[in-house]
C-alpha cells in the first residue's frame, strides 16, 4: 500500500469517527446555557417566590431584592418569582402557587394576599413535598391548625410598627382630637395587626377614632375612602393609613379638599414616593419593614430548612420608624 493510500484511508477513518461522534452528540439533550449552569442546574434547589400586587412599589422592591440575592450566588439556588396585578386577585395568586408546584419547586416563599384563602394552596404545596415559608402577611393560624399544618412565618411585628408611627402622631395632637383609620384588606393578618397598633396608640393618647374603613391596600380605593371621611368629619385631624399606597391616595384627597394644613397622614412601608413626602412633612411618618430584605429572609430560611441546618420556626424581622429627622 502506498503512502497516499494510507493517508486517504486515515482521513476517511477520522471523518467516519467524527460523524459518529457528532451523531451521538446530536442525540444527547442540550446542556443549559452557561458554564456553571450546565454542571449545577440539576442540583440547585428551586425556590418559588409568590407575592401580592406588583403594582405596589413595596412588592416590586421585594422582588428586586430577591432577584439581586439570587444573582449574587446563582449556583446556590434557582428562583421563580411571580406576583399578582392587584391586591384582590386571590384566585390568580392561588393559581400561581399551583403553577410553582407543577414547575417542580422544592420551596415556596409566600406573601399571601388573603390570610385564610391561601391556606388551602399552601397545604397542597406541603402535601406535594415543598418546604413552605410564609412572609409579609401571616397565614391564618386557626385555618392552619384545622389542616394540621405548621408553616413558619418570617416577617415583622406589624402591630408594634404601626404603634410606633401612631405614637409620633399622638404627640402632635390634643386629647379628644378626631382621627380615622384606613385599613388594609379585610381579613388580612397584617391589616388587622396594623389597625390594632394604630388603635393602641390613639386610645392610649385619648384620641377619638371616628371611623375605620378598608382601602384594600390600594391608592384609588383609599382616595375614595379618605374623600368620604373628610366630608363626613369636618373636624378630622388625621388619617392613619395601613400602607403607603393608601397614604398617597389619602394625601391626594386631603389636598383636593384643601385641608393639607389641618389633616395629618401616617403611612406604613417606606416606599420611595412617601419618603419624599416625609422629608417635606406632607406625610408625618411611615414604617420601614425593609421590603428588599423580606423575601431574602424568607428564601434564606427556606434554604436552611431544606439543608436541615435550621428548624422551621418563626423569625421576626426588623421595623424602623421613618420621620423627617431620620429619612434618608
Contact 132, 125 (CB under 8 A): yes
Average pLDDT, the chain: 90
When pLDDT is cut at 50, 70 and 90, the band that residue 286 belongs to is: very high
Q: What is the mean pLDDT of residues 42-60?
A: 94
Res 87: pLDDT: 87
Degrees, nearest 5: CA angle 70-73-74: 70
* Mean pLDDT lowest among 17-31, 32-46, 314-328: 17-31
What is the structure's pLDDT at 88?
86
Helices (H), the chain: 3-27, 35-40, 57-72, 90-102, 119-127, 141-146, 158-170, 189-205, 219-232, 244-256, 272-279, 291-306
Q: What is the pLDDT of residues 292-304, one digit of tens each?
A: 999 999 999 999 9
Phi, psi of 121 (to 5 degrees): -65, -40
Range scoring the smallest mean pLDDT among 15-19, 138-142, 167-171:
15-19
Average pLDDT of span 262-287: 97
Q: Which H/E stretch holds residue 107?
A: strand 107-110
Distance of alpha carbon 133 from alpha carbon 297, whole angstroms: 10
Q: Where along the chain do its domains lie?
A: 42-154+292-316, 158-288
pLDDT tens per residue across span 155-185: 999 999 999 999 999 999 999 999 999 999 9
pLDDT in tens, 64-121: 999 999 999 999 999 999 999 988 899 999 999 999 999 999 999 999 999 999 999 9
CATH of the domain spanning 42-154+292-316, picked from 3.20.20.70, 3.40.50.2300, 2.60.40.10, 3.30.1330.50: 3.40.50.2300
Q: Do domains 42-154+292-316 and 158-288 have the same CATH topology?
A: yes
Contact 101, 124 (CB under 8 A): yes
- 92's grid cell: 390568580
Q: In angstroms, rounded to a whole number, what is the distance separating the alpha carbons of residues 146 and 236?
A: 43
For 54-92, give one letter per residue: b (16+ CB within 10 A) or e. bebbbbbbbbebbeebbeeeeeebbbbbbbbeebbbbee
Query: What CATH number has the domain spanning 158-288?
Result: 3.40.50.2300
Amino acid at each position: 500500500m502506498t503512502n497516499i493510500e494510507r493517508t486517504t484511508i486515515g482521513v476517511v477513518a477520522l471523518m467516519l469517527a467524527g460523524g459518529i461522534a457528532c451523531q451521538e452528540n446530536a442525540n444527547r439533550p442540550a446542556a443549559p446555557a452557561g458554564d456553571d449552569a450546565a454542571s449545577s442546574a440539576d442540583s440547585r434547589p428551586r425556590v418559588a417566590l409568590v407575592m401580592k400586587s406588583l403594582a405596589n412599589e413595596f412588592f416590586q422592591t421585594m422582588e428586586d431584592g430577591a432577584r439581586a440575592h439570587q444573582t449574587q450566588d446563582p449556583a446556590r439556588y434557582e428562583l421563580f418569582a411571580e406576583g399578582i396585578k392587584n391586591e384582590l386577585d386571590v384566585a390568580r395568586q392561588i393559581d400561581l402557587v399551583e403553577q410553582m408546584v407543577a414547575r417542580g419547586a422544592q420551596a415556596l416563599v409566600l406573601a399571601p394576599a388573603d390570610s385564610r384563602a391561601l391556606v388551602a394552596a399552601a397545604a397542597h404545596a406541603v402535601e406535594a413535598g415543598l418546604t413552605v415559608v410564609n412572609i409579609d402577611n401571616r397565614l391564618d393560624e386557626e385555618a392552619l391548625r384545622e389542616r394540621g399544618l405548621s408553616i413558619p412565618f418570617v416577617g415583622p411585628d406589624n402591630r408594634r410598627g404601626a404603634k410606633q408611627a401612631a405614637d409620633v402622631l399622638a404627640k402632635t395632637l390634643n386629647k379628644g382630637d378626631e382621627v380615622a383609620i384606613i385599613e388594609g384588606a379585610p381579613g388580612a393578618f397584617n391589616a388587622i395587626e396594623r389597625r390594632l397598633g394604630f388603635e393602641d396608640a390613639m386610645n392610649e393618647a385619648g384620641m377619638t377614632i371616628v371611623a375605620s374603613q378598608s382601602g384594600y391596600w390600594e391608592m384609588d380605593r383609599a382616595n375614595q375612602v379618605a374623600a368620604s371621611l373628610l366630608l363626613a368629619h369636618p373636624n378630622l385631624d388625621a388619617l392613619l393609613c395601613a400602607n403607603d399606597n393608601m397614604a398617597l391616595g389619602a394625601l391626594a384627597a386631603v389636598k383636593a379638599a384643601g385641608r393639607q394644613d389641618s389633616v395629618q397622614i401616617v403611612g406604613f412601608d417606606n416606599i420611595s414616593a412617601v419618603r419624599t413626602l416625609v422629608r417635606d412633612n406632607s406625610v408625618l411618618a411611615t414604617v420601614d419593614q425593609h421590603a428588599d430584605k423580606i423575601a431574602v429572609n424568607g428564601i434564606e430560611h427556606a434554604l436552611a430548612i431544606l439543608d436541615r441546618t435550621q428548624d422551621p420556626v418563626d423569625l421576626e424581622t426588623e421595623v424602623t420608624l421613618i420621620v423627617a429627622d431620620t429619612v434618608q
